[in-house]
Structure 1
Amino acid sequence: MTRNITIASRLREVLLNGHWIANTNYKEQIQNINWEQATQKVANLNTIAALTYHINYYLEGLLNAFKNGKLEISDKYSFDLPPIIAEADWNKLVADFLNNSEKFANKVELMDDSYFDQPFIDEKYGTFLRNIEGVIEHSYYHLGQISLIKKMQTKN
């Protein structure tokens, strides 16, 4: 299996359909809750909606960077979740997240193997491979938080 297929599979596993590492994935975790659960605060933790927005922010930003060669996102805006005050707001975020997840995995799947070793936008950011693997690791980190928050919500 080539790197592009392997890496795209790993992205789909954490974002859309896998169970190997975490025994769950984002799609499974966010599709079966309503907007009130998604926005419910548990202690001083981020909400599920905020974490979903956060990962989607990076997926969308990197997709744009792949397209235009410019990195136009900033960590300081990655939690700037627009208000979610109704089910339609949450459903839109979930749909955007799932759409961007599939687009991102598809884009990686179509990459030529040599592309992964090239500098990502600017050499200071490392290679495409390093950044895509960073998305996978970052996604698993926050997926664990979402899973724990959901468990904490059911205990309250």
Structure 2
Amino acid sequence: MFDQPQLLLLILCPALLIVAALKDVTTYTIPNWISLALIAGFFPTALALGLSGSAIGLHAAIGAAALVAGMVMFALGWIGGGDAKVFAAAALWLGWPASATFLLVTALAGGGLALTLLAMRSMLLRRYVSAGPPWLSRLAEPGENVPYGLAICIGGLTAFPASSLAALAL
């Protein structure tokens, strides 16, 4: 049984992914402090939950690989810089094999998000969506970006229960 501080550390990742998604959907930005908090929070959480040194190294390697992949996606204009950073920070927390689920679900959620935004931006629906709050109206603007942080959040939350950190808590 884990004590309250360990459980609070464990929910840091899901909580910060939700904050990142909300910020991205409403402002099209993911502040650097979210990615930095994810990275800084991983190591004390891993140590507090008893993750081995080699497992921590594997998590770090997966996070580094995700950062490279995120940088490539950013360079290609597929995602924003904040998306790339939070993608890597989430992968750091998830490790192997949860990162495979993370990649798959993030890609599927991203496709679903893109289709939803295309529908919202159609002439048929845009006038209805535009009557909502300003952030929702902005999502319906043709040519506007895609807040991919939402897809990253969905992928991360889906994969998190399969992560080695979550497994230690069970």
Same fold (TM over 0.5): no
Higher helix share: 2
Q: Which has the larger radius of gyration?
A: 2
TM-score, reference length from structure 2: 0.29
TM-score normalized by structure 1?
0.31
